[in-house]
Amino acid sequence: MNRSMVRYLLAKLLLIEAGLLTVPLFVALIYHEDWQAFASLLTTMGILGLLGLTGSAFKPKNYRIYTKEGMLIVALCWILWSFFGALPFVFSGQIPSLVDAFFEVSSGFTTTGATILPDVSVLSHALLFWRSFTHLIGGMGVLVFALAIMENSKNAHLEVMRAEVPGPVFGKVVSKLKNTAQILYIIYLGMFAIFAVILWSCGMPFYDSVITAMGGAGTGGFAVYNDSIAHYHSSLITVIVSIGTLIFGVNFNLYYFLLIRKFKIFFGDEELRTYLSIVAIATGLIFLNIFHLYGSWAQSLRYSFFEVSNVITTTGFGITDLTKWPLFSQVILLVLMIIGGSAGSTAGGFKVMRSLIVSKITKNQILKTLYPNRVMSLHVNHSPLDKATQHSVLKYLTVYAMIFIGLILLISLDNNDFIIVVSAVASTFNNIGPMLGTADTFAIFSPWAKFLMSLAMIAGRLEIYPVLLLFIPKTWSKY
């Protein structure tokens, strides 16, 4: 293993995080916040700067890295960024517990949106901004962002991006990987800016519109107020947020094809059609199931579409009390939590593409029992899917299910409510945010459970394997 290259790249990444902390520092200046907010940010920047400069002072002799190093860099980067990103909250005293702060920032970078804060008003403007800014950074990927601005390191970019970008198949929109990262981030930030402007034009205060747009673009769901989108009492804002989060749950590669006017690729994408079909069916079923609660088709449809859009994209903005909904609707939302958004989007979950592939494999196996001599092929977007990819999806499903069940067993030691435990695991492991049941925040769990769910959030965002490798002794061997 090329440990010197791992150390060098991690040091560079810590310097990037130090640079990103200048943004909330600027927010603190705008709102004339007290010295404690400044000091917490400056101290964290100093620590990151010292570690980053020390670690990057000696360049490695060999810049070559392979899959193992790429996986380690991605996993360690997300854990380190979450740890150091939590320090301003601890130093300022606004979240005194390091475990709680680590949970909150892990939730931010992984765009989960789960929180331990019963009242977000305890946070200053600067730290509330930093909390949501982690959504914007983590949405497209911490390493994708770094790749867009870092110098080339031979094949290093390929391995780290392959390890971080969600989905069963890794692809580039242009031949050069660095250019792919830059294009995707330009599209992403452009869509975020448009989203923020639209919310502002709908009557939302400017600061609120930026915070909400960061939560929507990153499909994370951190908001300015405890009652989230419901605070604004606006049907228009509710619909705009529903549509906005749904848009960010689409594979961003498709938006590139849309920009270069390859409309057939965009509208013909099978995952996109499946994604929109799931949203339409789930919205219709929930609408019929909750209509009696509200007595208004417009309000029932608006609430149904909002919750479906926010849950399948793993955003987690809130508008109503889901515990008052019928169990049928809650189960549908729980299924959507697991499915998640599209591959290559900012959404979490198992991914629509994987669900589509598994359903096709299942269909082929059923037909195989009827026609044992028939040769079955599997196509996605009119292209055959090779056996290696099919097997990797099934293996991922197996690992995913085993870890999901294991997390439920462990968290059940901390809480006796079945719905709370299952939805808490589904929420964190699938990067969704809200829980079903009677609990409002994750503060009800013990420190060890919150730490475990923090790792679950990072593992879920990185699609398990990079984090699992950290706990395998062979990973750290020289060969």
220 known ligand binder: yes
Tell me how far apart the alpha carbons of residues 356 and 452 are, in angstroms, rounded to a whole number: 30
The Cα–Cα gap between 82 and 104 comes to 9
The H or E element that residue 384 is part of is: strand 383-384
Question: 314: annotated binding-site residue?
Answer: yes
**DSSP code at position 205:** -
* Angle (deg, nearest 10), helices 98-109 and 125-140: 50
Q: Residue 111 annotated as binding?
A: yes
Which residues are registered as beta bridge partners of 384?
379
Contact partners, residue 431, CB within 8 Å, separation at least 6: 110, 111, 112, 314, 340, 347, 348, 349, 457, 460, 461
Whether 180 has a binding-site annotation, put simply, is no
C-beta separation of 338 from 367 below 8 A: no
Degrees (nearest 5) of the Cα angle 463, 10, 454?
40
Q: Which residues of 390-426 are buried (b: 16+ CB within 10 A; e: fewer)?
A: beebeebbeebeebbeebbebbbebbebebbbbbbbb
Query: Does 22 belong to an annotated binding site?
Result: no
Q: How far is residue 8's CA from residue 338's CA, in Å, rounded to a whole number?
A: 36
Tokens of 219: 């499909």
Contacts for 268 with CB less than 8 Å, ≥ 6 apart: 381, 382
Task: At 58, give phi and psi (nearest 5°).
Answer: -110, 110
Which residues in 128-162 are b (16+ Cβ under 10 Å) and which e? Answer: bbbbbbbbbbbbbbbbbbbbbebeebeebbbbbbe
**Is-contact 249 275, C-beta < 8 A?**
yes
From residue 441, give the alpha-carbon distance in Å to each of 100, 393, 448: 12, 33, 16
Task: Find the farthest-apart pair of alpha carbons in the chain and give their distance in angstroms, rounded.
Answer: 75
Binding positions are 111-112, 220, 314-315, 431
Binding positions for K(+) are 111-112, 220, 314-315, 431
